C-alpha cells in the first residue's frame, strides 16, 4: 500500500502494513459516534491501575460499565471499588461482548497499546479518551486522527495542561504582541526518571500470577517477562514506550505548539548519549525547524532532556534558580518563561518586566475550562460543551511532531520531513521508523 494512500483512510484501517486483522476486533461498516443526552455516559476503562486508576476515579460521576486491565495487582483498587461491573483482561473481548452497552472508552495503557485499543473503540463509534502520547508511531497518530473524524466521535488526549489557565495566558499574551516576534523556543525536562540507555534485553524471569504477559505485550514483539519492564519502567524501552520525549513532550511542548501555531517541521536534528535499538538515550537535545506561519516568522525550537538545560537567558536575574522543567520564549520585545511541566504561572523575565506588565495584561479572549480535561471530554460527549481542546485534530499533529523527534534520535542524523507523504525525504531507513509491524496476539 502506497504511503500517500494512508491519509485517505479508505476502507478498513487494518490494512495497515503488518497489522493482524484481529487487532481491531470484528467491527464492520461505518459506525458513527452518538452524543449522549439526558443520561449519564456508559464508560469502559482500558487500563484500571497506575494512570488508569486516575481515569477510573475521574469517571465516577458517570456509569462505569466495565473495567479492563492485564495486571490484577495494579488494578486491585479500581476492581475492588467496582465489583458490580465485569472485569476483563483483554480489551478486544470486552469491546466485542459489551459493544451495545458502551458509549465511551478511556485508554490508559503503556504507549504501544494506545493505538490498537483506541482504534477498535473508534471503529465501533465509541468516544475515546487516550493518555499521552495518543500513539506509539507517527503513522498511528495520523490514522487515529483521521479515524476519529471519519467515525464522528469525541476525542481527547490526556495532556491536562491544555485545559488549564497557563496555556491560555501564554497564547493571549503572544496573540496580543506582548512578546514580539518569536524566533527561538527552548524546552527542558528532568525526565527520564526511569532507566534508559539499555543495550540488551534483561534475562527471563517467572511471570507473576497476577499478570497476563501475552496480553500486556499485545502488538509488541514477543519477549520474556522481566520486572524491568513494569510497572512504569516500560517507558524506557522502544517496543513499549517513547522515552522522555514521548512522556513529557505532550505536556511541555503543548503551549508553544498551540500558541505559535506550529505544525509540520521541515527538519529535525538530535544530539544524544548512546542510542540502541532497545532503549532511548539517557539524554538528548533535539532541534526543530518550523517554517513561517502567516505573519509569524520561522522558528527554531530546541528540546533538552536528561537534566540537560538550555543557556540561561540574559534577561533571567543572576542567582535566580531554574526549575527542573520549563519553556523559554525568546521574543523581539520580551522573554516569556513557564517554569513547570503544565505551563503553570507563565512569567515575563526579568521579574521587573512582569511587575510592569501585570496591571495592563490583555483581556481574556479564550474560554476557560471548568473541572479539567476529563470533565471537558465528558461534557463534549454529552453535548454539554464544546469539542475538547486536545481533541485528536489538535493532538494528532502535536503527537506526530514529538514522535518525529524520536525518529531523529534513533536515526542519529538530520531528517527532513514531508508530512503529506509521511516520509523522511531521501531517507528510507528513517522512514521505516514512521510505522511498525504488529504481532498477532
Evaluate whether residue 281 is within a structural domain. Answer: yes
**pLDDT at res. 16:** 43
Evaluate whether residue 268 is within a structural domain. Answer: yes
Q: Where are the alpha helices (DSSP H) in 283-388?
A: 351-357, 372-381
> What does each C-alpha distance from 273 to 164, 243, 249 come to in angstroms?
34, 13, 18
pTM listed for this prediction = 0.94
**pLDDT at res. 30:** 78
How far from each other are the two terminal CA atoms of the chain, in whole angstroms? 23
Evaluate whether residue 308 is within a structural domain. Answer: yes
Angle, nearest 10°, between helix axes 138-151 and 392-411?
170
Burial status of residue 362 (CB atoms within 10 A of its CB: 0-12, 13-18, 19 or more): middle
Checking if the pLDDT of 18 tops 70, the result is no
Comparing CA positions, the residue from 148, 58, 42 lying closest to residue 102 is 42
Evaluate whether residue 426 is within a structural domain. Answer: no
Return the C-alpha cell found at 306: 536528561
Distance CA 123, CA 121 (A): 5
Distance CA 215, CA 231 (A): 15
What confidence tens digit (pLDDT) does each residue in 101-145 have? Answer: 999 999 999 999 999 999 999 999 999 999 999 999 999 999 999
Rounded mean pLDDT of 404-425?
A: 97
- Its domain, for residue 314, covers 162-195+239-368
Contacts of 110 (CB under 8 A, 6+ apart): 216, 230, 234, 235, 240, 241
| Strands lying side by side in the sheet with 267-272 | 347-349, 335-338, 326-331, 182-188, 299-304, 284-290, 267-272, 415-418, 423-424
Evaluate whether residue 246 is within a structural domain. Answer: yes
Rounded mean pLDDT of 192-220?
A: 98
Checking if the pLDDT of 326 tops 70, the result is yes
**pLDDT at res. 5:** 41
Evaluate whether residue 135 is within a structural domain. Answer: no
Rounded mean pLDDT of 272-296?
A: 97
Evaluate whether residue 358 is within a structural domain. Answer: yes
Return the C-alpha cell found at 4: 500517500
What confidence tens digit (pLDDT) does each residue in 141-164 have? Answer: 999 999 999 999 999 999 999 999
> CATH no. for residue 306?
3.30.360.10
Range of lowest pLDDT (29-43, 259-273, 386-400) = 29-43
Rounded mean pLDDT of 204-214?
A: 98
Evaluate whether residue 287 is within a structural domain. Answer: yes
**pLDDT at res. 11:** 37
Instruction: Tell me how many domains the chain contains.
Output: 1
Checking if the pLDDT of 265 tops 70, the result is yes
Give DSSP secondary structure letters for 140-166. Answer: HHHHHHHHHHHHT--EEES-GGGGSHH
Mean model confidence pLDDT for the chain: 94
Kindly indicate the confidence band of residue 6, based on its pLDDT and cuts at 50, 70 and 90. very low
Amino acid at each position: 500500500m502506497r504511503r500517500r494512500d494512508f491519509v485517505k483512510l479508505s476502507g478498513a484501517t487494518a490494512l495497515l502494513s503488518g497489522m493482524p486483522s484481529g487487532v481491531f476486533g470484528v467491527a464492520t461498516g461505518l459506525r458513527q459516534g452518538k452524543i449522549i443526552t439526558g443520561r449519564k455516559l456508559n464508560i469502559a476503562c482500558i487500563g484500571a491501575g497506575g494512570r488508569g486508576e486516575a481515569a477510573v476515579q475521574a469517571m465516577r460521576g458517570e456509569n462505569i460499565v466495565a473495567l479492563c486491565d492485564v495486571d490484577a495487582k495494579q488494578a486491585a483498587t479500581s476492581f475492588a471499588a467496582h465489583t458490580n461491573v465485569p472485569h476483563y483482561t483483554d480489551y478486544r473481548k470486552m469491546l466485542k461482548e459489551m459493544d451495545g452497552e458502551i458509549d465511551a472508552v478511556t485508554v490508559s495503557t503503556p504507549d504501544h497499546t494506545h493505538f490498537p485499543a483506541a482504534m477498535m473503540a473508534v471503529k465501533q463509534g465509541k468516544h475515546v479518551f487516550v493518555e499521552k502520547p495518543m500513539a506509539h508511531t507517527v503513522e498511528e497518530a495520523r490514522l487515529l486522527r483521521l479515524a476519529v473524524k471519519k467515525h464522528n466521535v469525541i476525542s481527547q488526549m490526556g495532556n491536562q495542561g491544555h485545559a488549564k489557565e497557563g496555556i491560555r495566558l501564554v497564547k493571549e499574551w503572544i496573540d496580543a504582541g506582548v512578546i514580539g516576534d518569536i524566533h527561538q523556543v527552548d524546552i527542558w525536562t528532568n525526565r527520564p526518571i526511569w532507566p534508559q540507555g539499555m543495550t540488551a534485553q534483561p534475562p527471563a524471569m517467572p511471570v507473576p500470577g497476577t499478570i497476563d504477559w501475552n496480553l500486556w505485550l499485545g502488538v509488541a514483539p514477543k519477549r520474556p517477562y522481566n520486572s524491568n519492564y513494569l510497572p512504569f519502567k516500560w517507558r524506557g524501552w522502544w517496543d513499549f514506550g517513547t522515552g522522555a520525549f514521548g512522556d513529557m513532550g505532550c505536556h511541555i511542548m503543548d503551549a508553544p505548539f498551540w500558541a505559535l501555531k506550529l505544525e509540520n517541521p521541515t527538519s529535525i536534528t538530535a544530539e544524544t548519549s548512546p542510542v540502541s535499538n532497545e532503549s532511548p538515550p539517557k539524554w538528548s537535545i533535539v532541534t526543530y525547524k518550523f517554517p513561517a506561519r502567516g505573519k509569524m516568522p520561522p522558528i527554531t525550537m530546541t528540546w533538552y532532556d536528561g537534566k540537560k538545560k538550555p543557556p540561561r537567558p540574559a534577561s533571567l536575574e543572576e542567582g535566580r534558580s531554574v526549575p527542573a522543567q520549563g519553556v523559554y520564549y525568546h521574543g523581539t520585545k520580551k522573554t516569556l518563561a513557564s517554569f513547570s511541566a503544565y505551563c503553570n504561572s507563565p512569567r515575563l523575565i526579568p521579574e521587573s518586566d512582569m511587575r510592569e506588565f501585570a496591571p495592563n495584561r490583555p483581556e481574556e479572549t479564550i474560554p476557560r475550562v471548568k473541572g479539567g480535561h476529563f470533565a471537558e471530554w465528558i461534557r463534549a460527549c454529552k453535548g454539554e460543551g464544546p469539542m475538547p481542546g486536545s481533541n485528536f485534530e489538535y493532538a494528532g499533529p502535536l503527537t506526530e511532531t514529538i514522535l518525529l523527534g524520536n525518529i531523529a534520535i534513533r536515526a542519529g542524523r538530520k531528517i527532513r520531513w514531508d508530512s503529506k507523504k509521511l516520509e523522511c525525504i531521501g531517507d528510507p531507513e528513517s522512514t521505516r521508523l514512521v510505522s511498525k509491524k504488529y504481532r498477532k496476539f
